[in-house]
Structure 1
Amino acid sequence: MNAVSVYHVDAFTKDPFAGNPAGVIPDARNLTLPQMQQIANELNLPESAFLMPSVHPEADFRIRYFSPTVEIDFCGHATVGSSWLLATELGWLEKGRRIVFETNVGLIPVQLETEDGKLKRVQMTQITPSVKEIDLNPVEVARMVGIQTKDIDDRYPIKLASTGGLHLLVPVRTRAAIDQAIPLQSELGAMNREHRITTTHLFTWDAQEGYDLYTRDFAPAIGIPEDPVTGAANGALAGYLALEKLLPVGEKHHLVVGQGHAISRPGTLYITVETSSKDPVIHVAGEAHVTIAGQLRVSAK
């Protein structure tokens, strides 16, 4: 039997048992892809990240992400969790203030933000955002995500957006409507698989004090009924806001996004949107807490 170090890191929160839990395996060089999938299934967390050496000259690590059922191309909260673990537990902060991950969608640089010599936040720069149309009836969308048609905020378009994974963005008028949503998981999952959508992401500007936006995220197509606090989807949302000109062009915008409150795993994302260049630049930052550290025993290949 081989022992593999494994960590449970709660991302986008300072506290244990809040935010979005990620499995992090900091040395996966001797694991096969089927073993990675089996481990992710065993951990049964929204996503697990597996780090290994990279041959890319600009990358510090190759990172792969798995939900309990499938490999996904990019995961924001597992990137934050991996960066936090490297910096606080594995000595990376002594080497520098930057980590670059090679992912399936490209290079993801992470900046380690410190205060008084201690890690304050990690900030990842996601790949260039994009949006595209999708032909869906808002009435059907409302039914599948479990809200009333009148709850859809028709001031904003329902669109697909991406900073690495494809997310269906659904504008909602109130936080209460988002909290009360009861999605039809089977139908929503089938629709997402049909359109190769990773998650369906509800958002509203009707956020509680201290936040600019409030969101909730469902991902049954990849084996996650609800993703508590979603770095990739909220990054895609920020890109959508910029590309749809819902944020003034030529400025740097700072957004605080709350998610996870509806399922008692509150988390906070600090998003910076730069709109002065041809393509918006999206930075997503947050904190994390290493909640569990241990070893997983796996059979030798």
Structure 2
Amino acid sequence: MKQISVYHVDAFTERPFAGNPAGVIPDAGSLTVTQMQQVANELNLPESAFLLPPVDPQADYRIRYFTPQEEINFCGHATVGSSWLLAAKYGWTEKAKPIVFETNVGLIPVTIGSSGDSFGGVTMTQVSPKVSEIHVEHAEIAELLGIPAGQLDTRFPVKLASTGNWHLIVPVKTHAAIDAARPDLAQLAAHNKKHGISTTHLFTFDGKPGFDLYTRDFAPAIGIAEDPVTGAANGALAGYLILENILGRQETHNLIIGQGDAIGRPGTLYVTIEPTDSDAVIKVGGFAHVTLEGVLRLGDS
């Protein structure tokens, strides 16, 4: 009977049952794609990450991400969870070098911070940000999201943004309006599939105390009603903020973003935006907690 180690890691939090849960399978080299999808479906977490031998000689691992429904190109919280696991359980802190993951969108280096005798947070550098136009009426977006149209923050554009996956970025006036959103998930899924969008990401500068921004993310098109705390979507948001000149292009920005409160899984992301001549370098970091570990028995067939 084939057995593999499997972990449940809560990312962007320092305690269990908060942040965003990810499955991490650190030795997935013997699994087929079908088996990876079956494992992700069995774990039924927003995303599961499978670590494989790399193809690119610059990488330490190839990493593939699966929702319970399908494979996706990039997942931020599962990258953080995987890095945290490698540091906490597999001795990566002793290597004193970044972990480099080979993903479907390119190489993602992750640094491990240190704090005295223990390690601190982990920080991933995402691929170059992009933004793109989408032609959609505010009334339609408000209806899809189940919020009053007057709560959309028209100071900022509704656009697509990406640091690996395309996200629909929707500015909202207050965190209370974001918490009150009640999306039509079936219609939102159809809309996102039509436009090739992974998630719809709401944000506001009306952050809760101690935070610069507050966000919420819906992903029914890829099989997740709501993704609790999203490294990929918040990285894309950071790119949008700098590329749309909402934040100044001449300085580095350090942001603390809160997410997950609306569904009882609060998390914290530490985002750095370093402008360059052409775009920006986006770094997203946080902490994690290994909540469960065990052995998955796959049977003999």
- In the TM superposition, residue 57 of structure 1 has moved relative to its aligned partner by 1.2
CA distance in 2: counterparts of 1:192 and 1:126, whole angstroms:
23
Q: Secondary structure at the match of 1:45?
A: coil
Q: Determine the structure 2 residue equivalent to 1:170.
A: 170
Cα distance in structure 2, aligned partners of 1:13 and 1:223: 23
Q: Secondary structure at the match of 1:155?
A: coil
Greater than 3 Å deviation, 4+ residue runs: none
Q: Report whether the alignment pairs 1:233 with 2:233.
A: yes
Secondary structure at 1:281 match in 2:
strand
Task: Find the aligned partners of 2:110 and 2:173 in 1 and give their Cα distance.
Answer: 33
Structure 1 residue aligned with 2:124: 124
TM-score (norm 1): 0.99
Report Cα offsets for 1:227-276 as digits up to 9, x if no partner.
Answer: 00000000000000000011111211000000000111000000000014
Match of 2:278, SS? coil
Asked if 1:36 is matched to 2:36, the reply is yes
The equivalent residue for 1:275 is 275
Match of 1:198 in 2: 198
Identity across aligned pairs (percent)? 63
Q: 1:187 is paired with a residue of what secondary structure?
A: helix
CA distance in structure 2 between the partners assigned to 1:208 and 1:91 by the alignment? 36
Q: Tell me which residue corresponds to 2:286.
A: 286
User: In structure 2, the residue corresponding to 1:277 is in which secondary structure?
Assistant: coil
Q: In the comparison of the two structures, how many residue pairs are matched? A: 301
Give the structure 2 partner of residue 53 of structure 1.
Answer: 53
- Whole-angstrom CA distance in 2 between matches of 1:300 and 1:93: 36
TM-score in terms of structure 2 length: 0.99
Other structure's SS at 1:156 match: coil
Counterpart position of 1:257: 257
Correspondence 1:38-187 to 2 at 5 A: 38-187=38-187
User: What letter is aligned with 2:130?
Assistant: S
Partner Cα separation in structure 2 for residue 55 and residue 12 of structure 1: 29
The Cα RMSD (Å) is: 0.7
Question: 88-97 vs 253-262, which deviates more?
Answer: 88-97
Counterpart of 1:224 in structure 2 is 224
Q: Retained in 2: the 8 A contact 1:252–1:276?
A: no
Could you tell me which amino acid in structure 1 is paired with residue 6 of structure 2? V
1:6-58 Cα distance to aligned partner (Å, 9 max, x none): 00000000000000000000000000000000000000000000001102111
Corresponding letter in the other structure for 1:66:
F
Q: Which amino acid aligns with 2:77?
A: H
